[in-house]
Amino acid sequence: SHLKLVGRQEELAAARAARLDLLLPEEPGFLEADPGEDTCTVSQGDIAAAVDIASAAKHFELRLEQFGPYRLDYTRPGRHLLLGGRRGHVAALDWQTKTLMCEINVMETVTDVAWLHAETMFAVAQRRWLYVYDNQGVELNCLKRFPGVLRMQFLPYHFLLATASETGFLQYLDVSVGKEVAATCTRGGRLAVMAQNPANAVVHLGHSNGTVTLWSPNVKEPLVRMLCHRGAIRALAVDRSGTYMATAGLDRKLQLFDLRTYRPLHALVLPQGAAHLDFSQRGLLAAACADVVQVRPSPSLPRKPYLCHRLPLPAHGLRFCPYEDVLGAGHGAGFTSLLVPGAGEANFDALENNPYRSRKQRQEWEVKALLEKIPAELITLDPTCLDRVDTASMEQKRQEKIQRLGFDPHAKAKFRPRRKAKGGSSAGSLLRRKRKVAHEEQRVRCGSSPPLTPKNLTPHPKKPHPSALGEAFAHLFLLPGRHPPERGAAGAAGEGERSHGGGGGPSPALGSRPLQEVAEVPAALPTPFPSRPAPLLNLSGIPEFPRFIARPGAEGGTRGAAGAGPSKGGSQVRPGLGLRGHQLPWWLKTTCGCSLVPLHQDWSFADY
């Protein structure tokens, strides 16, 4: 079954990961307290004094009291930091080397900042519209279709920038082409709480009525609606594996939910409600309660925190740095970088996120990421269901859409000849062009038909029923009681006599009567449809037949189709020819289902 297959794949992946442990030389850090001491009492100064010089340099504080409070964001490799002050101050820097990349003041309120796919571009949500800048502070684009944006989340594998506005709209921007992919009215009021699930790229929104909704750009309604708190949602975060979701509300509760069952696992009442939440790569949960930052391990959520630190002013942003044991906190007085042992992943994948990549490597990675971009249509709650697409239901949906609309919207449009000058658009010219295109389409359809195989050529055990018109033509040329002469001795002698005879003449059996008199069709013919009356053959509507009669060439000296000896006189009729020397009409040959001309080498067509 499918579950057994998934289980075997997980066991195989675990075995391969165990063999690759030799390639992971780094071990994650940890903080161990002395007996009788809690780790939450260890200050940042004590941690910086106990670690090496390179790690101690990662704990610093930026005093920016003029333009705060600050929002922040790290790049995916964790090398660069982006700061955005509410009073318009925006700065991008390499926080490890303390190198400033750009610093600008947009002279407008800044509500959120976010890096895009690389450290070369970032987005700033300003008071009116959404702006995109490069790493030198140059404005690249002003997106007026995204007004009043409050929160942003970038989906790296889809190249989508998800924005939540104060008017209740959730919008998606494809940064690879610069177009809006989807815009959805959530009907949930002001959207100031937003997070993304890194496992399936589903966006989580917190509302003022205590519910959390899950959204995809393909659906105009929420995928899941969860009632998490009795008050408004203040903060929201989803862990790296997409298994756990942490929420904080005005009821001062901190709850942890299992996204596999959408049920709460743990709940914790805090002295002050958490305003910001964030998960680290190794599962630590950071919560900013006013000016106090607490870090707890998940999913246990013990009452005593793992680490605790007090900020100068209440926090306004909280982010863990990828692949580093660093927690960044933005507040009203600036920015603070905290050391949290065991928070980041110790070993990184250089092909995915390399903090030490060069400019050339970044360019090559960017091209590869664009080629491997995942379409927005594939965002779903369960990404594993993408390999189980039901093609039959897709075809059924297509047929239902055709029936509902009354036409096929994906069908090829009917050919209409383009108007030409100087008589090129006459009625005859238009008709010829239409017929030419129709013949070409017919050839294409015939060429696309499956080739004949021995399986297709296997005869059916049951003999198919002849058509009524075929039976009629058979009675036309082989009437009851007027069969060709037997191929006996007399027939052989007659043939030898005819081979040296004179000119042709009318047959004594048929005489020179018109074809209408000869073709005495019986009243009832065998037909594959017993409920319908057998059709009568009416030859008066066929213009060729009234001027011809069918007669045996006893004295006509006409050569037969089987290649009999040389004729003594008269005109030769080639096999398969008749009707004034022209080939029989296609409808005559295909309708009867057999070779009609000549039916016998002693039979031919002659002018009446």
Spans of the chain, pLDDT less than 50: 455-457, 460, 462-464, 467-469, 472-584, 586-608
Global pTM value: 0.63
Nearest CA-CA partner of 278 in 226, 316, 314: 316
Paired residues of 534 in beta bridges: none
For residue 526, whether the previous peptide bond is cis, meaning omega lies within 30 degrees of 0, is no
pLDDT attached to residue 167: 94
- Report how far apart the first and last C-alpha atoms of the chain are (Å, whole number): 78
Torsion from C-alpha of 146, 152, 157, 158, nearest 10 degrees? -20
Residues 171, 183 contacting (CB under 8 angstroms): yes
CA distance 288 to 269: 14
Nearest CA-CA partner of 517 in 480, 549, 485: 549
pLDDT attached to residue 459: 52
For residue 598, whether the previous peptide bond is cis, meaning omega lies within 30 degrees of 0, is yes
116's tokens = 């895009």
356-368: per-residue pLDDT in tens? 899 999 999 999 9
pLDDT attached to residue 417: 80
60's tokens = 């610093």
174's tokens = 């494809």
CA distances for 62 relative to 4, 331, 338, angstroms: 53, 10, 12
Report which DSSP code applies to 99: E
Instruction: Kindly give the pairing relationship between strand 263-269 and strand 292-297.
Output: unpaired
Which long-range contacts does 380-387 make (Cβ < 8 Å, 24+ apart)?
380/200, 380/202, 380/216, 380/218, 381/200, 381/202, 381/214, 381/216, 381/223, 381/224, 382/200, 383/199, 383/200, 384/6
CA distance 224 to 379: 14
176's tokens = 């690879």
Report which DSSP code applies to 600: S
Which long-range contacts does 379-387 make (Cβ < 8 Å, 24+ apart)?
379/155, 379/158, 379/200, 379/201, 379/202, 379/216, 379/217, 379/218, 380/200, 380/202, 380/216, 380/218, 381/200, 381/202, 381/214, 381/216, 381/223, 381/224, 382/200, 383/199, 383/200, 384/6
Q: How many CA atoms lie within 13 A of 456 on its CB side?
A: 5
Burial 376-387 (b: 16+ CB within 10 A, else e): beebbeeeeeee
pLDDT attached to residue 442: 81
Nearest CA-CA partner of 201 in 386, 470, 336: 386
pLDDT attached to residue 187: 92
CA distance 432 to 594: 33
271-297: per-residue pLDDT in tens? 888 999 999 999 999 999 999 999 999
Torsion from C-alpha of 231, 232, 237, 243, nearest 10 degrees? 50
Task: Name residues whose C-beta falls within 8 Å of residue 330's C-beta, 6 or more positions apart in sequence.
Answer: 68, 69, 70, 71, 72, 83, 315, 316, 317, 318
CA distances for 449 relative to 97, 293, 399, 438, 471, angstroms: 67, 70, 22, 17, 30
Angle, CA of 195, 196 and 198, to the nearest 5°: 145
Task: Name residues whose C-beta falls within 8 Å of residue 174's C-beta, 6 or more positions apart in sequence.
Answer: 159, 160, 180, 181, 376
- What's the chain's Rg over C-alpha atoms? 43
Length of the chain: 608
Nearest CA-CA partner of 314 in 293, 344, 284: 293
Nearest CA-CA partner of 607 in 552, 545, 517, 539: 545
CA distance 204 to 277: 13
Burial class of residue 39 in the structure, from the number of CB atoms within 10 Å of its CB (0-12 exposed, 13-18 middle, 19+ buried): middle
67's tokens = 């333009």
CA distance 501 to 207: 108
